[in-house]
A and B are shown apart, each in its own frame.
Chain A
Amino acid sequence: MSRVIRQDRAVELQGRRAGFPSRVLADFIDVAIAFGIFVLIYSGLSILWDFFQSDTIQIKVQSPGINATGMGLTVLIYLTLGWASTGRTIGKQIMGLRAVRRDGSSLHTGRALGRAALCVVFYPFVMWTVLFSRRNAGIHDMICKTVVVYDWIPETAKRHLPPPPTPPRSRRRRRAPSTGSGELGA
């Protein structure tokens, strides 16, 4: 599978810092998806609870505080999983964006969690700086030393290959066990 980008300007901007509208739209998509996940989990747990503890099955409406906390936790876990795995949530995947460290490497779990927590709690405040920053950086980007770049090429279409298996240096040496890195290179 290969990924061809036909627009010249889009090719030029691959790997560059993304701007405010793209990032905000990706975040809106993410919040919508997280809301759907939250509703599914909430409804499932409520039905399961009633199944064992009540005679009737109904989805109870909790207080706004509990709902907000549950929604916040869902968004937090959702963002952390996306950023710590590939740097992309579904919203960022749709918009062709990727969150990485300032040096271009992937985010680790701790940094992804911290970034997600800042986003969940202070989103309206941290995002505005993207609009005015010379490097399109939000406050959460500055604190966590992260950037969001345009990267339309998904992992499945990247043209990287595993390193070729190294040949044995001498014949006397023992053969490596079959369940090693040799299988990865195949």
Chain B
Amino acid sequence: MQELLRTEKLRKYFGVVSAADDVNLTLYKGSLTSVIGPNGAGKTTLINLLTGNILPDSGKVFFNGEEITRLPIHKRVKKGICRSFQIMNIFPKLSVYENLQIPILSYLNRSMSFYRPAHSHADANELVDQLLQEIGLTDKKDLPAGTLSHGDQRLLEIGLAMAPEPKLLFLDEPTAGMNPVERVRVLENIRRLSIEKESTFVIVEHDMDIVFSLSDRIVVLHRGQILADGTPEEIRQNEDVRKVYLGEEIFWEKK
């Protein structure tokens, strides 16, 4: 198993609250890891630290052997790290098509092109059409993104995260608020990418069905620390985890 990302004693404090407390985490190429934990455990903070949205107080982050601890977001994206957001971050005034054009043009290093019209870049158009099909929004491509339904916006959000063909993709509650059909679509995309492009995934989820059925590995966070880390089976048996999720035992029943 090849190491893709590694953190060393990652720390982030907000005042006296430790959102990340000496976190040592290693992610392996091609794996799908779920990060779970009660609210306030530090899941989003961890993703923020790894993707560059916030910088740590101390500690280091390595990607493919290179240190990226303080690297700005756009440079991490170029190295192959991307994410989707819990709160949607689409381009509301632009059409769905244009939304996807932006990261794809950037991926093809065409963003600085200022003379030829954006729609004349045929290779970019092909990739956008392909992506539209994969997330199932082809028939809505000319609508302003802000007018889409919540579920469709989430699909677009995931499409935007996938657009730069990342090696490591963080999905923050990707299926929140989605209906079953949309949920299946998202999961299929994740599975497909994981197989076709050997993408590595880190997913923050509350839906335990997804977590247990999809993950190779589960990391449980509690108050900024890693409480448990292992295969779904191991986590299911873990006493500490059960304690932390007191009252939610129905999720641990095998289906």
A binds B: no
